[in-house]
Amino acid sequence: MPKISDKQRQARRDQILAAAWRCFFRKGIHATSMEEIIREAELSAGAVYLYFESKDKLILAAISTYMATLRELLLPILTTPESSPPLEFIHEITSAMEKHTRRSEIDLNVVILMCWSEAQTNQQAKELISGFQVNYRAALRLVVRQWQKRGQLKSQGKPDDLAKALLSFFLGFIVQSALLGELDSKTISRGMKGLLMGVGA
């Protein structure tokens, strides 16, 4: 049997994960069987199990891939030496999140919400997801300090408190998009501008 390249191997893995996301989106994580994912991927059972030995492993891989791909989009925004002013920063972050989650066939916001639910009873999923969020919070803390230093943020509150509030806002963007829809980065930017400008000292 001819060997396949790393690129082909990754493409096959991505094919299986994409099939899993579509199935999860339609039926939910636990209502979806491995047999349905195999059919959706249009591969043999042996080919799928070669990459993912169980449904639990596939679920963790789906979460990890989602989070890692989103991180690649967010890191340039979060770690730039000169972060954008608050409103522009919020628009950049929500635009990147929107770009990652809105797809022609599925809304990944819905899938990741299911994965967060899975994390309440799956310790491995919880550790995986919380690890990413802790790192985001640390990065947001540094961004807040930049704003305060440049006078772009009037609040002199603790950067850690403000970072936690910001993270809650961004996570809420995912939740509201998944549950209610009709939400985009432009709407969020307009809403935040009106809210922040309307708050007194």
Looking at residue 199, its pLDDT comes to: 55
Answer yes or no: are the C-beta atoms of 53 and 59 closer than 8 Å: no
Looking at residue 107, its pLDDT comes to: 83
Largest CA distance in the chain: 71
N-term to C-term CA, the chain: 71
Residue of 45, 40, 43 whose CA lies nearest to 24: 40
Looking at residue 2, its pLDDT comes to: 57
Q: Which residues pair with 107 in a beta bridge?
A: 102
Which domains, and CATH codes, for the chain?
A: 1-53 (1.10.10.60), 59-197 (1.10.357.10)
Position 136, amino acid: Y
Answer yes or no: are the C-beta atoms of 111 and 21 closer than 8 Å: yes
Rg of the chain on CA atoms, in Å: 19
Looking at residue 104, its pLDDT comes to: 62
Looking at residue 1, its pLDDT comes to: 47
Answer yes or no: are the C-beta atoms of 157 and 143 closer than 8 Å: no
Per-residue pLDDT of the chain (201 residues; tens, 9 = 90+): 457 788 888 999 999 999 999 999 999 998 999 999 999 999 999 999 999 999 999 999 999 998 898 999 999 999 998 999 999 999 999 999 988 887 667 888 888 899 899 899 999 999 999 999 999 999 999 999 999 999 888 777 899 999 999 999 999 999 998 888 778 888 888 888 888 775 544
